[in-house]
Amino acid sequence: MKLKLFLVILFLTFSCKDKTTSKVVANIETVEEKAVEPKIDLEVYDFEGFKKFLNKTDEKTYVINFWATWCGPCVKELPYFEKLNAEYKDKDVEVILVSLDFPHVYESKLKPFIQKKNLKSRVVVLDDDNENKWINEIDTSWSGSIPATILYNKNERKFFEKSFTYEELEQEVKQLK
């Protein structure tokens, strides 16, 4: 009888111990998961705040591309903008990728996308519901479909509601006065 009790106690002790150990392990795992989560601080603007990217008057050429993670043709052409940014950043060209993703996917889709694709160009987010107002302010010819791209410097501005190849993009940058 005494032996039985001893065994039961022994068993309980071990099972308790087991539980504690596994709990600790679980804790460590959570900590590790958090550590690898994307550490990206999104720059989110309403249109008033965003406007500064459209009206710079320094020596640079700015390439402003409107895109979203859900937009197939946008995602397809992103590598060309990335390539342009990499090859021309020493030549006073700056690419700014303007995400129009919905706020509820910033964490679940946009941040992981930026990290997975390892985007090097500056990504900003435009979060402004009053599209009827700001689409026209960006360009009156824009119907509102994306991808859409603005190329500008202090002398000239061009707007495109279309997809680009790298060659087309490079040519437009070179042609800007």
Interface with another protein by CB under 8 A: which residues? 68, 70-73, 100, 102-103, 129-132, 135-136, 142-147, 161, 163
Q: Coil, helix or strand for 78?
A: helix
CA 12 – CA 9 distance, rounded (Å): 5
Tokens of 30: 């959570």
User: Residue 18 or residue 131: which is nearer to another protein going by CB?
Assistant: 131
Tokens of 161: 């509601």
CA 65 – CA 115 distance, rounded (Å): 18
User: Residue 73 or residue 112: which is nearer to another protein going by CB?
Assistant: 73
Q: Coil, helix or strand for 56?
A: coil
- Least distance CB 125 / another protein (angstroms): 12
**What Å distances lie between residue 141 and 62, 102, 138, CA to CA?**
19, 24, 9
- Least distance CB 165 / another protein (angstroms): 16
- Least distance CB 76 / another protein (angstroms): 11
- Least distance CB 54 / another protein (angstroms): 16
User: Residue 80 or residue 88: which is nearer to another protein going by CB?
Assistant: 80
User: Residue 79 or residue 144: which is nearer to another protein going by CB?
Assistant: 144
